[in-house]
């Protein structure tokens, strides 16, 4: 079945269709698109490039093994970028929704920035890691870290064991964090709302099919259809800051 597609200039009928029921249990998945209007470039939007490098060439275990300085320069720059921007109306709308739904709300983000937290979200899981955390490659315990490491001589070492410290980021070829917890949440949800992700990076791009198999309502919001569009019941075309503030409880 084809999804219902509407624009974010909603008719009353569309607005009613977008309402959540007070006893809904909402699973939200966000991607780079939710931070785009804060000024952070999406992967697609930047052509997947950074300083002439393909993102895949700086966001893999192989890149880390070959050139940790390059990898740390990349993530230091992303830390700088994230520190320079503010959460937008979409981040705030999601935090407000969490206030209403309380423990019937779960936010899983593919984003490594902290804009959801800064907008007030609490129950949030960063499946691809967190920009402002690092971890020792041996001890593996993540810790808060807002520093920039941009030259070989400043690359961080573990205080406990002296091993290299890496960004606490899930790279291509690594397994996203706490998949078990994510699937448990998907299992209890009554609505899956996906926002601003191109639907081509797995396993996140597969959540909608799992939700669909369970027969729950699936909604996508973003300015263009994602690659996995056919798996959604409803697609709302529009920027996250336009669509999300209109999402309300019945």
Catalytic residue positions? 128
Q: Name the residue number minimizing CB distance to ligand OAD.
A: 33
Q: Where are the alpha helices (DSSP H) in the chain?
A: 12-17, 33-36, 55-58, 61-66, 68-83, 89-101, 115-118, 179-188, 207-213, 240-243
Q: At a CB cut-off of 8 Å and minimum separation 6, what does 102 contact?
A: none
Binding pattern to ligand OAD, positions 145-184, x when CB under 6 A?
-------------------------x--------------
CB 161 → ligand OAD: shortest distance, Å? Answer: 26
Binding pattern to Zn ion, positions 4-43, x when CB under 5 A?
----------------------------------------
Residue with token string 């078990």: 180
What span, in angstroms and rounded, lies between the C-alpha atoms of 120 and 14? 28
How many residues touch ligand OAD under the rule CB under 6 A: the total is 24
CB 171 → Zn ion: shortest distance, Å? Answer: 19
Binding status of residue 197 toward ligand OAD by CB under 6 A: yes
What span, in angstroms and rounded, lies between the C-alpha atoms of 30 and 228? 15
Q: HSE of 145 in the Cβ direction (CA atoms, 13 Å)? A: 26
Interacting partner of 139 out of ligand OAD, Zn ion, none (Cβ under 5 to 8 A depending on kind): Zn ion
Given a contact cutoff of 8 angstroms between Cβ atoms, the answer to whether 129 and 168 are in contact is yes
Q: In the set 85, 96, 201, 229, which binds ligand OAD (CB under 6 A)?
A: 201
Binding status of residue 124 toward ligand OAD by CB under 6 A: no
Q: In the set 68, 186, 196, 247, which binds ligand OAD (CB under 6 A)?
A: 196
Burial of 215 (0-12, 13-18, 19+ CB in 10 A): exposed
End-to-end CA distance of the chain: 26
Q: Which of 151, 118, 121, 146 is nearest to 132 (CA)?
A: 146
Q: In the set 33, 68, 87, 167, which binds ligand OAD (CB under 6 A)?
A: 33
Interacting partner of 182 out of ligand OAD, Zn ion, none (Cβ under 5 to 8 A depending on kind): none
Q: Which two tokens stand for residue 38?
A: 């804060």
Please say which residue, 163 or 248, places its beta carbon nearer to Zn ion. 163
Q: In the set 58, 63, 119, 136, which binds Zn ion (CB under 5 A)?
A: 136
Q: In the set 161, 179, 184, 200, which binds Zn ion (CB under 5 A)?
A: 161
Q: In the set 10, 70, 77, 139, which binds Zn ion (CB under 5 A)?
A: 139
Q: Which two tokens stand for residue 6?
A: 């509407």
Please give the residue ranges that form the binding site for ligand OAD (CB under 6 A): 31-33, 36-37, 42-44, 55, 59, 110, 128, 170, 195-198, 201, 222-224, 226, 239-240
């Amino acid at each position: 079945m084809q999804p219902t597609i509407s624009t974010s200039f909603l008719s009353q009928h569309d607005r009613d269709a977008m309402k959540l029921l007070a006893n809904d249990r909402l699973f939200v998945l966000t991607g780079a698109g939710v931070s785009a209007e804060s000024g952070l470039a999406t992967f697609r939007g930047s052509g997947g490039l950074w300083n002439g490098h393909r993102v895949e060439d700086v966001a893999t275990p192989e890149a880390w093994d070959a050139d940790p300085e390059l990898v740390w320069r990349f993530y230091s720059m992303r830390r700088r970028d994230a520190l320079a921007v503010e959460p937008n109306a979409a981040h705030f709308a999601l935090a407000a929704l969490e206030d209403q739904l309380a423990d019937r709300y779960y936010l899983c983000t593919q984003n490594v920035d902290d804009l959801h937290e800064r907008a007030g979200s609490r129950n949030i899981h960063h499946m691809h890691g967190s920009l402002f955390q690092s971890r020792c490659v041996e001890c593996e315990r993540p810790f808060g870290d807002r520093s920039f490491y941009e030259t070989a001589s400043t690359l961080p070492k573990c205080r406990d064991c002296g091993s290299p410290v890496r960004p606490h980021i899930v790279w291509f070829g690594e397994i996203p964090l706490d998949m078990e917890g994510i699937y448990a949440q998907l299992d209890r949800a009554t609505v899956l709302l996906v926002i601003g992700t191109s639907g081509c990076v797995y396993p996140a791009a597969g959540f909608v099919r799992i939700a669909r198999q369970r027969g729950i309502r699936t909604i996508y919001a973003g300015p263009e259809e994602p690659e996995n569009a056919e798996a959604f019941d409803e697609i709302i075309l529009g920027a996250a800051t336009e669509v999300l503030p209109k999402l309300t409880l019945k």
